[in-house]
Amino acid sequence: MVSVTNHYYKKDNSANVAICVPVQNQTTAVFAYSLAMLQKKCGETGLATSLHFNMGSEVAMQRQQLVDQALETDCTHIMWIDADMQFPVDTLNILLAANKDIIAGNYSTRVPPHRPVAFKSKTNLDSRVFTGKGIEKVWAVGSGMMLVKREVYENISRPHYKIEYNESYTELVGEDVYFCTLANDNGYEVNISHDLSDRIAHIGTRAYTVKGDCND
C-alpha cells in the first residue's frame, strides 16, 4: 500500500477530503492529468485533501484498507476515484455542494455491452439509470467516482466491501453494489449527480461515456 498525503491550507472550507485510489496494475496519462488538475484546484480554493493509493489485485480488500487508512486521519469525507477514470477539475466542488451522505457520478462500463453503473432497484439490476438532470436517488452505483461522508463508514458494520454471490448463485455481486446495499439497509441514501455524470468517462481502449456509448 502506498500513501501520499498532501494537506492544503484551509481558508473558509470546513471539508477535509481523503481521496482514495485503488490501483490494480497501472494508471493512464488521462487519469494522472485529471488528478493533478483536481489537486491544483483544491489548493487554489483552500480545500484540504489527503491522497491515498492502494496497489493490488483484490479490489474489495483494497477499498477496505483505504477506508481504514482514511479514518485514521481527520477527514470529513472519503472520495473514491478509480485509476481508470477521467474527470473535471471541479468534481469535488460539485459533489460537496450537494451535501449528501453518499453521492457519485454515473459512468459507463469499459467493455461491451456498454451500460451505466447506476441501478434504480435492489431487486432488478437491469434497472439501470441512463441520463437525467440534477441529483437522483438510486439503489446502487459504481464506486469509481463517489463521495461518502465519514460518518457512513463509522456507523455501518465492517466489512464495508465484499464480493459475493447473489441469492441464486448465478453471478457475483460487486463490492460497490455490496456497499450501497449495506448503506441503504442502514438508512443512508445513495445519489448520483447527473451534472457530474455528463462530464466523466471510464477509460478503456478509449474513454467511454453514458451519453455516447450506452444504449437504453
Q: Identify the CATH number of the domain in which residue 205 sits.
A: 3.90.550.40
Over range 74-86, report the average pLDDT: 96
* pLDDT cut 90: percent of the chain above it: 69
Q: What is the pLDDT of residues 8-35, one digit of tens each?
A: 545 556 899 999 999 987 888 999 999 9
How buried is 81 (Cβ within 10 angstroms: 0-12 exposed, 13-18 middle, 19+ buried)? buried
For residues 73 and 124, the model is more confident at 73
Tell me: the pLDDT tens digits for 200-215?
999 987 888 888 888 7
The one-character DSSP state at 44 is: H
Residue with cell 477521467: 86
List the one residue out of 101, 97, 173, 111 whose CA is nearest residue 142: 173
Q: Containing domain of residue 136, as a range?
A: 2-213
The total of structural domains in the chain comes to 1
Give 2 or 93, the one with higher predicted confidence.
Answer: 93
Q: What is the pLDDT of residues 86-96, one digit of tens each?
A: 999 999 999 99
